[in-house]
Amino acid sequence: MSKTIGVLALQGDYAKHAEVIRKLKYDTLFVRDITALKKCDALIIPGGESTTFLNLIDKLGLRKPLMEFGREKAIMGTCAGLIILAAKTDGLNFEPLKLIDLEVSRNAYGRQIDSFVADIELKINGAPARFEGVFIRAPKIVKVSPDVQPLAYYGDDIVMAANKNILVATFHPELTENLYIHNYFLTKFVS
């Protein structure tokens, strides 16, 4: 049976992630409630505004279902999605979901005029040496626990990391044509 990859669609660039998932021939579903979440084998939390996400997650009673989902199934989070999944972050009125044991600093490179595109270095066996990282008001991973494996770097900054079922990135693979990272998530974490 083919797997269904949900994309949390409360706000943000969820449509871009869904486009990539469809290109990789998986079924996809926009998740805005518990009923939809239950139909998913894995989930993507997209880029967007983390304050808006967490606000809606709590208002809609999605916190507990998402935490339960993330204890068993695979979740990928990009940018704001990473902030939502982190153990700790700065400047938020809301607790993140604590599904991956790392600490994040929000908007750590500055404002929009400091946003940038740069090659990042993937530390995955068999991966292409370089990947174009799109960093938009991006966060920084400032601390990781031993059970979290760094998977990519921009200079000294860890820009992608994972534990056994949660994959996070500070940049936006969904905004580039290169499908490698989504494909890596699907083959390594979902299948």
Partner 1 sequence: MLNKEFLLKVGLAEMLKGGVIMDVTNAEQAKIAEDAGAVAVMALERIPADIRADGGVARMSNPTMIKQIQDAVSIPVMAKCRIGHFAEAQILEAVGVDFIDESEVLTPADEHNHIWKHDFKVPFVCGCRDLGEALRRIGEGAAMIRTKGEAGSGNIVEAVRHMRSVQSEMKRVQTLANDELMKYAKDLGAPFELVQYVKEHGKLPVPNFSAGGIATPADAALMMQLGAETNFVGSGIFKSADPEERAKAIVMATTYYDDPDKVAKASEKLGEAMAGLEMGQIPEAELLNKRGW
Report the catalytic residues. Answer: 79, 172, 174
Which lies closer to partner 1 via its Cβ, residue 7 or residue 75? Answer: 7
Binding mask 131-170 for partner 1 (x = CB under 8 A): ---x-xx---------------------------------
With H, G, I as helix, E, B as strand and everything else as coil, classify residue 7: strand
Site residues for partner 1, 23-42, by CB under 8 A, read 32
Dihedral pair phi/psi, residue 187, rounded to 5°: -80, -40
175 binds partner 1 (CB under 8 A): yes
Smallest distance from the beta carbon of 125 to partner 1, in angstroms? 29
Nearer to partner 1, 54 or 87 (CB): 54
Rule CB under 8 A: choose which of 22, 39, 59, 98 binds partner 1. Answer: 59
Among 20, 28, 40, 48, contact with partner 1 (rule: CB under 8 A): 48
Q: How many CA atoms lie within 13 A of 119 on its CB side?
A: 4
Strands of 116-122's sheet in order across: 27-31, 4-8, 42-45, 74-78, 166-169, 157-162, 149-154, 116-122, 130-135
SS3 156: coil
63 binds partner 1 (CB under 8 A): no
The residue assigned the tokens 């083919």 is 2
Contact (Cβ atoms closer than 8 angstroms) between residue 114 and residue 107 = no
Residue 86 lies near partner 1 (rule: CB under 8 A) = no
**Cα dihedral sign for 120, 122, 127, 129?**
positive
Unique residue bearing structure tokens 């949660």: 166
Instruction: Return residues touching partner 1 (CB under 8 A).
Output: 9-16, 32, 47-49, 51-52, 55-56, 59, 79-80, 91-93, 106-107, 110-113, 115-117, 134, 136-137, 172, 175
